[in-house]
Amino acid sequence: MPPTVLPPAAAASAVDPEAILGRQAARESAARTYARSLPIVPVRARGMTVEGADGRRYLDCLSGAGSLALGHNHPVALQAIREVLDSGAPLHVLDLATPVKDEFTTELFASLPEEFARDARIQFCGPAGTDAVEAALKLVRTATGRSGLLAFTGAYHGMTAGALAAGGDSTAGTGPGGSVGRPVRLPFPYDYRCPFGLGGPEAARIAACWTESLLADPKGGVEPAAGMIVEPVQGEGGVVPAPDAWLREMRRITAAHGIPLIVDEVQTGVGRTGAFWAVQHSGVLPDVMVLSKAIGGSLPLAAIVYRGELDVWAPGAHAGTFRGNQLAMAAGAATLRFVRAERLAERAAALGERMLARLRALHCLLPAMGDVRGRGLMLGVEIVDPQADADALGARPAAPELAAAVRQEALQRGLIVELGGRHHSVVRLLPPLTMTDEQSEAVLERLGEAVHAASAAHRTVPAARAGECG
């Protein structure tokens, strides 16, 4: 069955979506997130299509926050899960060796940059990206004997205390039980809202200079760093790709100071950005890679992979009951194999380029689209106030309410998107790598209509951008 065709309707008719949503609102935590902005009750899904209990169908550009490289319920993932279930193998094995884990590790190592994989070790973590981030921070602190951390503006690394501290949001998780010791915050290149008022390669060069001079300055106030943690494309921070040359500079600078470089590929991995691992665009070899989301083939799995010489922590230094998720390892191995065999990273690169070109054309017609950017199938549209004055670089103020209205209009048109970014005003597109050309056209059409409708409802906007686009 092609991945985009839904199986015949099951017993969805017995489900009352309004009642379920009502009970959810009454019983679930105030901290729930997607459930607030996407009030749907999914009952079936295949590929990029999700069907709600009310029978409505949606194109899913959220993909489990970027977890579903092959979309929902891909046949190769389902087959791998069924095989484990039918084999009688134990589903819970703590961190014991199993054929399923052995195969996953072999498949994962085969996907990594060869020079990195040759001497790498893997630590399976509790099954969330944030736990793998915690493991990475603990590993480099143990290995270097230092405690400082270098992290970036706009970063997102998860919601547990150490990962939160590494992130750029100073409000998230504050208060009792909130974030712990803050790292040194370094500038991440962000052309549209450039901290140096420049944008482009010169701004990235200055950002690298600042980092280098700060680390070299004995009076710079920087605690000796155990590591630098960076996303090759900031996802939650608003889909901001790191320039390759800048990332190479981060590698050069950290190597010169003996500081391990941790690359957080939780969201960018498994073909998403047009390379199997986003760090491969730049040719940088990290010391630690943080992996989760798509490596589990839609089920929970997280790990760090790191250079052998860092492997100096003690047995049990990072434990967790659920480190051996056999179904996720089976689905993950099948997914990694399929992405490699079908060259889906290349497909993501080509389709992403085409979508970006189409988004740029839309950006000229729809002034609320302040900026469009991305890499591969990790795309972002920054929604701005079209009537506010632009700054010297041409950026207008972010418009979070308008962005929320775009998300709502998109949902009404059968398109699931989420927001991210510094001001929660970047519409993020994370479609599966298996998206067809027709689906990508439908996504762009629905998104364009949604931006148009939301802009019209918000205020009278100029019909088109004057003099900004060629």
Contact residues for ligand PMP (CB under 6 A)? Answer: 65, 128-130, 133, 156-158, 231, 235-236, 264, 266-267, 292
Minimum Å gap between C-beta 311 and ligand PMP is 22
CB closer to ligand PMP out of 293 and 446? 293
Minimum Å gap between C-beta 321 and ligand PMP is 16
Minimum Å gap between C-beta 274 and ligand PMP is 17
Minimum Å gap between C-beta 175 and ligand PMP is 20
Contact 296, 129 (CB under 8 A): no
CB closer to ligand PMP out of 128 and 275? 128
CB closer to ligand PMP out of 292 and 440? 292
Minimum Å gap between C-beta 65 and ligand PMP is 5
CB closer to ligand PMP out of 52 and 66? 66
Minimum Å gap between C-beta 1 and ligand PMP is 29
Tokens of 100: 């399923």
Helix axes of 437-458 and 400-412: crossing angle, nearest 10 degrees: 130
Tokens of 390: 């632009």
Q: Which residue is nearest to ligand PMP (CB)?
A: 129
CB closer to ligand PMP out of 215 and 291? 291
Minimum Å gap between C-beta 266 and ligand PMP is 4
CB closer to ligand PMP out of 304 and 415? 304
- SS3 string, the chain, reads CCCCCCCCCCCHHHCCHHHHHHHHHHHCCCCCCHHHHCCCCEEEEEECEEEECCCCEEEECCHHHHCCCCCECCHHHHHHHHHHHHHCCCCCCCCCCCHHHHHHHHHHHHHCCHHHHHCEEEEECCCCHHHHHHHHHHHHHHHHCCCEEEEECCCCCCCCHHHHHHCCCCCCCCCCCCCCCCCEEECCCCCCCCCCCCCHHHHHHHHHHHHHHHHHCCCCCCCCEEEEEECCEECCCCCEECCHHHHHHHHHHHHHCCCCEEEECCCCCCCCCCCCCHHHHCCCCCCEEEECHHHHCCCCCCEEEEEHHHCCCCCCCCCCCCCCCHHHHHHHHHHHHHHHHCCHHHHHHHHHHHHHHHHHHHHHHCCCEEEEEEECCEEEEEEECCCCCCCCCCCCCECHHHHHHHHHHHHHCCEECEEECCCCCEEEECCCCCCCHHHHHHHHHHHHHHHHHHHHHHCCCCCCCCCCCC
CB closer to ligand PMP out of 236 and 409? 236
CB closer to ligand PMP out of 264 and 382? 264
Minimum Å gap between C-beta 133 and ligand PMP is 6
Amino acid of residue 155: A
CB closer to ligand PMP out of 367 and 420? 420
Minimum Å gap between C-beta 128 and ligand PMP is 4
Minimum Å gap between C-beta 93 and ligand PMP is 21
CB closer to ligand PMP out of 185 and 452? 185
